[in-house]
Amino acid sequence: MLVTLNDILKEASNSNYAIAGFNVFGYEDAVMVAKAAQELDVPVILMTNRDAVSHMPIKILGSILTDIAKEAKIPICVHLDHGKSIDEVVSAIKSGFSSVMYDGSQLPLEENIKRTKEIADIAHHFGVSIEGEIGSVGYNDPSIKAKAMYTVPKEAKRFVEETGVDAVAIAIGTLHRMKAQEANIQYDRLEEIEKLVDVPLVIHGSTGVKDEDLIRMSKHRIAKVNIGTALRMAFGNTLRDEMNNKPEEFDRIKFFKRPMIEVKNKAKEKMIILGAKRK
């Protein structure tokens, strides 16, 4: 069933598990994430980032993902990740997304608050949930020029109160596109934020987080944990092996079978670590 972040995050925020948000790029990975969640009987979030939207029109992505969500027996939220403008967010809403993120994290605080509030008002008008970001989760990829800034707890409190977001992404030591689990989580900073902020917390760049830290964070008030690189590596590395091992094959559907299975396996692994069994 298609749901919003509000439908699933509040319970997770106050429990000892977190919900996985997986960046997906089309049918092949999205359907396997949904199957993994259904086998574990837990909610899941299907997300599209800017790379996905630049590859496939958001209208088509929206149709694919919302159809998968509506047919599933478990709650699935379809979420735009890192929207950078009103136009992007509105396009996602028109395309059926049940949730959006506006990322103003590279802007000065005042401007981030102003723009996020404007977009939150639009999203709420259409019954769509919205995530914002305060501080900024940087990138492990040096070709992406984005300033990393740890979240200041008092700024997080002000940001949430003045924007009206339903969930907030915070920067406490993770980086996007980390391949190895080497992130150093600042638990003192997390605990200060938890004292001041009353909406569900979100962690981006979680492929780079050690399993023991994912377990520990899921027992805090972190309700949504974003994972993308881990699935891309599972799919891409397996696809490369398939192509190398079958030089005479040319049918991409046949090449996709094993990578899809590996995506499902990786998604299940992450959901179990985040507390699927505890839920």
Q: Tell me which residues are annotated as active site.
A: 81
Please check whether residue 209 is in contact with residue 174, taking contact to mean a CB–CB distance below 8 angstroms: yes
3-state secondary structure of 158: helix
Tokens standing for residue 30: 């999205």
The distance between the two most distant Cα atoms of the chain, rounded to a whole number of Å, is 60
The C-alpha angle 144, 150, 156, rounded to 5 degrees, equals 120
Output the DSSP codes for 255-268: HHHHHHHHHHHHHH
Which amino acid would we find at residue 233? M
- Which residues touch 277 (CB under 8 Å, ≥6 apart)? 40
The C-alpha angle 92, 165, 271, rounded to 5 degrees, equals 75
Neighbours of 269 (CB within 10 A): 15
Residue of 113, 134, 129, 119 whose CA lies nearest to 88:
119
Tokens standing for residue 77: 């939220």
**Residues 263, 10: Cα–Cα separation, whole Å:** 27
